[in-house]
């Protein structure tokens, strides 16, 4: 790796974190010189910062890591979940001075600086986390250019926040592209043909689909149902993504068109919320969301618990999942988050479509939920009605 220290001369300059409620914390600049505004959320993963920082679902958010030491194993470039850093800003207690890992290409601070991302270290992240947990996700500004405190507070309060904000179009692919299956078709003439609607996908989702014998065509979030169906898919995958699901206005009609055509459909996170909206349910904002890798989820059909990776600020209201009068027929809850009882999965009763609120691709995270990719493969083979139903 280049540069054994991630503190080039002159970069340990003062920086500030200012929340909309007036909370102001002093720290040290750990990334680019500048200022960033966004919704401030905390992530409880001990490790996995490269995947967290490159997760497009964090677009528009400032991420605070609750685990105090970050950067210990550097940045590999191989673990990135998208083409670059996606967070609006990053806040840590203690940034490692040295990356100690044979896979590291560079240090975390240097990477953030090169990517132009404002980051603050030496912050009392426990206080920050408690504030967010007590008051809910707060809008905030981080400043590493000597900004005036009153001005920063005004900027935090002027930020539009997440509710009603559509962000998928900011991170989706500009062009359609293909990812080939990474295993031979299992006794079939050709791999499954899966269309992935990219609302802000994470690369490991594509790897796992490819490893289940799927040739994947990734299409932009604005693709119409006709665009998708013209590719004659065996199945459709709805990715995760940033922002408020209820603001992704066109997606409901598109998903209804796909599901009504009888195409097996699997959604993750934003894709789950959008399937829920298409089914006729409502979504709502959680107080401070779930951002971490150890959330207990109960699979209601199997009566088992899986420890799962989560990153969401909104949720589907399970009480609004429809009966027979739903636009796609009845839908039911398949998974529940055991920490707070919120919905973690759904399936349509009469159509081959299911989705989960969390991240079975788990990058970073535990692998308990990988079976959902196998369920999707069974759905493609017509050997299941959604697997989790
Ligand atoms: N990871 C995701 O897809 C997040 C979905 C949505 N943006 C939310 O915050 O709830």
Per-residue pLDDT of the chain (389 residues; tens, 9 = 90+): 444 444 554 557 999 999 999 999 999 999 999 999 999 999 999 999 999 999 999 999 999 999 999 999 999 989 999 999 999 999 999 999 999 999 999 999 999 999 999 999 999 999 999 999 999 989 999 999 999 999 999 999 999 999 999 999 999 999 999 999 999 998 899 999 999 999 999 999 999 999 999 999 999 999 999 999 999 999 999 999 999 999 999 999 999 999 999 999 999 999 999 999 999 999 999 999 999 999 999 999 999 999 999 999 999 999 999 999 999 999 999 999 999 999 999 999 999 999 999 999 999 989 999 999 999 999 999 865 443 44
- Rounded Cα–Cα distance for residues 157 and 147 (Å): 15
Active-site annotation holds for 269? yes
29 is in an annotated binding site: no
- Whether 314 lines ligand 1, by a CB cut-off of 6 Å, is yes
CA dihedral (289, 299, 317, 313) in degrees, to 10, reads 20
Place of tokens 């951002």: 291
What is the atom index within ligand 1 of the atom nearest the CA of 286?
10
CA separation for the pair 43, 66 (Å, rounded): 6
Domains of the chain plus CATH, in order, are: 14-158 (3.50.30.20), 168-380 (3.40.50.880)
Question: Which residue of the set 81, 166, 214, 269 is catalytic?
Answer: 269
Q: What is the pLDDT of residue 381?
A: 93
Q: Is residue 241 a known part of a binding site?
A: yes
pLDDT of residue 225: 98
Task: Give the residue carrying structure tokens 């909206």.
Answer: 277
Q: Is the distance from the beta carbon of residue 271 to the nearest atom of ligand 1 less than 6 Å?
A: no
Return d(Cα 37, Cα 74) in angstroms, integer.
Answer: 25
Cα of 217 from ligand 1 centre, angstroms = 22
Query: What is the rounded CA–CA span in Å between residue 342 and residue 345?
Result: 9
Ligand 1 atom closest to the CA of 268, numbered from 1: 3
Q: Does residue 359 carry a catalytic annotation?
A: yes
**Token duo for residue 348:** 């349509």
Ligand 1 in reach of 37 Cβ (< 6 A): no
* Ligand 1 proximity of 57 Cβ (cutoff 6 Å): yes
The answer to whether 294 is annotated as binding is: no
DSSP 319: G
Report residue 61: phi and psi, to 5°: -120, 145
Based on the residue annotation, tell me whether 214 is a catalytic residue of this protein. no
Asked if the bond preceding 22 is cis, omega within 30° of 0, the reply is no
pLDDT at 4: 40
246 lines ligand 1 (CB under 6 A): no
Give the 3-state secondary structure of 161-178.
Answer: CCCCCECHHHHCCCCCEE
- 199 annotated to a ligand binding site: no
Q: How far is C-alpha 77 from the geometric centre of its chain's CA atoms?
A: 18
Choosing from 136, 240, 361 the residue with most ligand 1 atoms within 8 A of its CB, the one to mutate for a pocket test is 240
Establish whether residue 29 lines the binding site of ligand 1, counting it when its CB lies within 6 angstroms of any ligand atom. Answer: no
Query: Given this model, what pLDDT does residue 383 score?
Result: 65
């Amino acid at each position: 790796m280049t540069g054994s220290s991630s503190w080039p001369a002159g970069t340990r300059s003062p920086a500030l974190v200012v929340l909309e409620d007036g909370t102001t914390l002093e720290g040290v600049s750990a990334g680019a010189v500048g200022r960033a505004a966004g919704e401030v959320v905390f992530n409880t993963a001990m490790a996995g910062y490269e995947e967290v920082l490159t997760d497009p679902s964090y677009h528009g958010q400032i991420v605070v890591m609750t685990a105090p030491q970050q950067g210990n194993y550097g940045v590999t470039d191989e673990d990135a979940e998208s083409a670059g850093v996606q967070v609006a800003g990053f806040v840590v207690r203690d940034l490692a001075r040295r990356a100690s890992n044979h896979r590291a290409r560079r240090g975390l601070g240097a990477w953030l600086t090169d990517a132009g991302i404002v980051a603050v270290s030496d912050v009392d992240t426990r206080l920050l986390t408690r504030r967010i947990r007590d008051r809910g996700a707060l809008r905030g500004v981080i400043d590493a250019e000597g900004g005036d405190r009153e001005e920063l507070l005004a900027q935090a309060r002027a930020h539009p926040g997440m509710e009603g904000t559509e962000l998928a179009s900011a991170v989706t692919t500009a062009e359609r592209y293909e990812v080939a299956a990474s295993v031979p078709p299992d006794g079939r003439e050709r791999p499954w043909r899966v269309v992935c609607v990219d609302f802000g996908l994470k690369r490991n989702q594509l790897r796992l689909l490819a490893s289940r014998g799927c040739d994947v065509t990734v299409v932009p979030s604005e693709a119409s149902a006709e665009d998708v169906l013209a590719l004659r898919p065996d199945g459709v995958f709805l990715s995760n993504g940033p922002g408020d699901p209820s603001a992704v206005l066109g997606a409901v009609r598109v998903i209804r068109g796909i599901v009504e055509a009888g195409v097996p459909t699997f959604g993750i996170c934003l894709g789950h919320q959008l399937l829920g909206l298409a089914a006729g349910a409502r979504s709502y904002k959680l107080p401070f969301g779930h951002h971490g890798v150890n959330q207990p989820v109960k699979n209601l059909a199997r009566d088992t618990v899986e420890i799962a990776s989560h990153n969401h600020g909104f949720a589907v209201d399970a009480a609004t999942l429809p009966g027979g009068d739903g636009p796609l027929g009845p839908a039911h809850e398949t998974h529940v988050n055991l920490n707070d009882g919120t919905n973690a999965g759904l399936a349509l009763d009469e159509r081959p479509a299911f989705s989960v609120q969390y991240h079975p691709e788990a990058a970073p995270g535990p692998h308990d939920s990988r079976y959902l990719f196998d369920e999707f493969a069974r759905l493609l083979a017509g050997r299941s009605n959604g697997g989790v139903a």
